[in-house]
Structure 1
Amino acid sequence: MKALCWHGKSDIRCETVPDPQIQNPGDVVIKVTACAICGSDLHVYDGYTPSMEAGDVLGHETKGEVVEIGSGVRNLKVGDRVVVPFNIACGDCFFCRKQLFSLCDRSNPNADEAKKAMGQSPAGLFGYSHMLGGFPGGQAEFLRVPYADVGPIKIPTGIPDEQVLFLSDIFPTGYMAAENAEIEEGDTVAVWGCGPVGQFAIQSAWMFGAGRVIAIDNVPERLALAASKGRAEIINFDDGPVYDRLMEMTAGRGPDRCIEAVGAEAHGSGSIDAIVDKIKAATYLATHRPHALREAMMCCRKGGTISMPGVYFGYLDKIPMGAFMNKGLTLKTGQTHTHRYLAPLLEKITSGEIDPSFVITHRAGLEDGPGLYKTFRDKEDGCIKVVLTP
């Protein structure tokens, strides 16, 4: 089959690799009908994700059709249309029973490697390093799905792939980010980063009762989408200090809830900490650029909540813990418990409350994937979200 494979920093290739096979009774194999490039895939592309190996198949946003089932599968049959969560969960361990699916104790076969880096292992992930299981991803013609009775959700006929594809990751991720923000009716919510996850965090903030949503970025197309589809007030951080603007907009109090939807590769417009981050990362003196997280901690009102769906892997530098502690802030984060949100968010789609395809700007075949990784990373051609059809 054809698949997008990682071969090093900024080196993605469309190659022929072996077709996936059923390995365990609970597996299914799906024919991929739509997949996407995620913002967190760019951390892989830029070399920030540890324990990648040359030839790894990428991708964790996947929609397809079941073509083969293991002997133990009961909930699916050949021909079913399914969306596959980006994380893999057994459904029966201590954490899965608490619906903390991204913390599954059984789905990462390389848990010992993850423990060395993080103390304990989260769930296995598709297409996202050997530390998290080494599972081939879904930017391919076919995908093996473990624990298939637990993960994939069946999609009714008549719903286009593009409307449901993002149930695999970015819609639940934005929704859980808004949930973690502990939004109260009428709150002012500031969202750092207007990429795909940020766009869904904006949409979800309204669902949780926000009174105002303020979107922060410097990419014109993303800010325009946040304003038009997200009904957000916008701040372009190239126009001056974000802190000053947020204080002006909130009468000096700061936003009640802050969502940091940027993660490990934050940019800043001339701020000293962002410049130092960039230099340290380029010279391998630091692993991340957490400018957006620092800024959220400084801007959030006293007693407020910061929700952080942005992805990090290692240690962060110069975090203002003094501000965090003395302002009495709460930080909630984590990989998304995707399985928990599949059914309720599918209902929002089928009822017409939201059409998640609004974020798509680029559609192409799998063979165009390597070039579109660069386009997406460099924010060229108005690129916000790429969907690939194998």
Structure 2
Amino acid sequence: MRALCWHGKGDIRCDTVDDPTIEDDRDVIIRVTSCAICGSDLHLMDGYMPTMESGDVLGHETMGEVVEVGRGHTKFKVGDRIVVPFNISCGDCYFCRKQLFSLCDRSNPNAAQAAKMMGHSPAGLFGYSHMLGGFWGGQAEYMRVPYADVGPLKVPDGMPDEQALFLSDIFPTGYMAAENAEIEPGDTVAIWGCGPVGQFAIQSAWMLGAGRVIAIDKVPERLALARSAGRAETIDFSDEDVYDRLMEMTGGRGPDRCIDCVGTESDATASADSMLDKAKAALFLATDRPHVLRQVITSCRKGGTVSVPGVYIGLVDHIPFGAAMNKGLTFRMGQTHTQRYMEPLLRRIEAGEIDPTFVITHRATLEDGPELYKRFRDKEDGCIKVVMQP
């Protein structure tokens, strides 16, 4: 089959690799009908995520048609269209029973390796390093889905792929980010990063009762989408000091809820501290560029909530933890418990409350993938979200 494979920093190729096979009775194999490039994939492309190996198949936003099922699998049958959550969960461990699916105790076969870095292992993830399981991802013609009786969701007849695809990651991620922010009716919510997750966080903040949404970025197309589809007020951080502007907009109090949708790769030109972060990363003295996290902490109102859906990889420097403690901030974060949200959000799509296709700017094939990775990373050609059909 053809698949997008990682071969080192900045080196993504469309290769011919072996087709997947059933390895466990609970598996299914899908023929991928649609997949997408996620902002988290750029952390792999840019070399920030350790334990990647040359030839690893990328991708964790995937859906397709079931073509084979394991002997013990009864949930789906050949021919069903399903959308697959990006994290892999057993459904029966301590954490899965609490619906903390991204913390599954059983789905990462390399849990000991992850525990050395983090203290404990999260769930296995598709296409996201050997430390998180070494599972081949879905930017491919076919994909094996382990524990397929837990999480994957059958897509209703007549629903186009593009309306269902983002249930695999970015729609639940944006929604959980807003839910974690503990939004109360009328709250002012500030969201850093207007990429795909940021756009869904904006939509979700309104769904959960926000009174104002302020979106922060510098890319014109992203800011325009936040204003048009998201009805958000915007701040261009290349033109204005974010903290000063937020204080002006909120009468000096600060936003009630702040959401960091940027994560480890804050814009290296944003400020002196972000330029220093980039230099440290280049010299292997740090793993992350946490400029946005610092800004979120200083900007959030006293007693407010900070939600972090943006991916961080390892150690972060110079976090104003004293400010966070003295301001009484609450922090909520983590990989998305995708399986918890897929069906409720599907119902919102069916009800016409949201059409997730609003973020799509580029449609392509797998062969176009390597070039579109670069366009997405470099924010060229108005590229906000790429959907590929193998």
Same fold (TM over 0.5): yes
Letter of the 1:133 counterpart = G
After superposition, what is the alpha-carbon deviation per residue over 1:271-327, rounded to whole angstroms, capped at 9, x for unaligned? 221121121112221111000000000000000000000001100000000110000
| Corresponding position: 1:353 with 2:345 | no
1:182 CA drift (Å): 0.2
Tell me how far apart the structure 2 counterparts of residues 121 and 275 of structure 1 sit (CA, whole Å). Answer: 31
Tell me how far apart the structure 1 counterparts of residues 85 and 13 of structure 2 sit (CA, whole Å). Answer: 24
The aligned residue for residue 2 of structure 2 is 2
| Corresponding position: 1:61 with 2:64 | no
After superposition, what is the alpha-carbon deviation per residue over 1:74-118, rounded to whole angstroms, capped at 9, x for unaligned? 110000000000000000000000000000000000000000000
The aligned residue for residue 285 of structure 1 is 285
For the residue of structure 1 that corresponds to 2:238, the secondary structure is helix
Alignment size in residue pairs? 390
Contact 2:268–2:277 (CA under 8 A) maintained in structure 1? no
Q: CA 1:68–1:270 in structure 2 vs 1: closer, same or farther (change >3 Å)?
A: closer
Tell me how far apart the structure 2 counterparts of residues 350 and 264 of structure 1 sit (CA, whole Å). Answer: 34
1:241 CA drift (Å): 1.1
1:270 CA drift (Å): 4.6
| Corresponding position: 1:81 with 2:90 | no
Contact 1:187–1:211 (CA under 8 A) maintained in structure 2? yes
Unaligned runs of 5+ in 2: none
The aligned residue for residue 232 of structure 1 is 232
After superposition, what is the alpha-carbon deviation per residue over 1:309-362, rounded to whole angstroms, capped at 9, x for unaligned? 000110000000011000000110000000000110000011111010100000
Tell me how far apart the structure 2 counterparts of residues 273 and 150 of structure 1 sit (CA, whole Å). Answer: 43
Contact 2:226–2:232 (CA under 8 A) maintained in structure 1? yes
The aligned residue for residue 247 of structure 1 is 247
After superposition, what is the alpha-carbon deviation per residue over 1:245-278, rounded to whole angstroms, capped at 9, x for unaligned? 0000000000000000000000155522112112
The aligned residue for residue 28 of structure 2 is 28
Tell me how far apart the structure 2 counterparts of residues 147 and 39 of structure 1 sit (CA, whole Å). Answer: 25
Compute the TM-score of the two structures, normalised by the length of structure 2.
0.99
The aligned residue for residue 170 of structure 1 is 170
Tell me how far apart the structure 2 counterparts of residues 302 and 269 of structure 1 sit (CA, whole Å). Answer: 28
After superposition, what is the alpha-carbon deviation per residue over 1:116-152, rounded to whole angstroms, capped at 9, x for unaligned? 0000000000000000000000000000000111121
Contact 1:376–1:384 (CA under 8 A) maintained in structure 2? yes
| Corresponding position: 1:191 with 2:198 | no
Match runs of 1:1-390 below 5 Å: 1-267=1-267, 269-390=269-390
For the residue of structure 2 that corresponds to 1:368, the secondary structure is helix
Letter of the 2:256 counterpart = D
After superposition, what is the alpha-carbon deviation per residue over 1:3-38, rounded to whole angstroms, capped at 9, x for unaligned? 000000000000000000000000000000000000
1:193 CA drift (Å): 0.2
After superposition, what is the alpha-carbon deviation per residue over 1:18-68, rounded to whole angstroms, capped at 9, x for unaligned? 000000000000000000000000000000011000000000000100000
Contact 1:61–1:86 (CA under 8 A) maintained in structure 2? yes
Tell me how far apart the structure 2 counterparts of residues 271 and 371 of structure 1 sit (CA, whole Å). Answer: 29
Tell me how far apart the structure 2 counterparts of residues 238 and 68 of structure 1 sit (CA, whole Å). Answer: 51
Letter of the 1:231 counterpart = R
For the residue of structure 2 that corresponds to 1:13, the secondary structure is strand
Segments ≥4 residues shifted beyond 2 Å? none
Tell me how far apart the structure 1 counterparts of residues 279 and 27 of structure 2 sit (CA, whole Å). Answer: 45
For the residue of structure 1 that corresponds to 2:244, the secondary structure is helix
Contact 2:30–2:65 (CA under 8 A) maintained in structure 1? yes
% same residue: 75
Contact 2:268–2:278 (CA under 8 A) maintained in structure 1? no
1:240 CA drift (Å): 2.1
After superposition, what is the alpha-carbon deviation per residue over 1:196-229, rounded to whole angstroms, capped at 9, x for unaligned? 0000000000000000000000000000000000
Contact 1:237–1:269 (CA under 8 A) maintained in structure 2? no
Q: CA 1:317–1:338 in structure 2 vs 1: closer, same or farther (change >3 Å)?
A: same
Contact 1:237–1:268 (CA under 8 A) maintained in structure 2? no
Tell me how far apart the structure 2 counterparts of residues 98 and 206 of structure 1 sit (CA, whole Å). Answer: 27
Tell me how far apart the structure 1 counterparts of residues 85 and 116 of structure 2 sit (CA, whole Å). Answer: 26
For the residue of structure 2 that corresponds to 1:358, the secondary structure is helix
Letter of the 1:161 counterpart = D
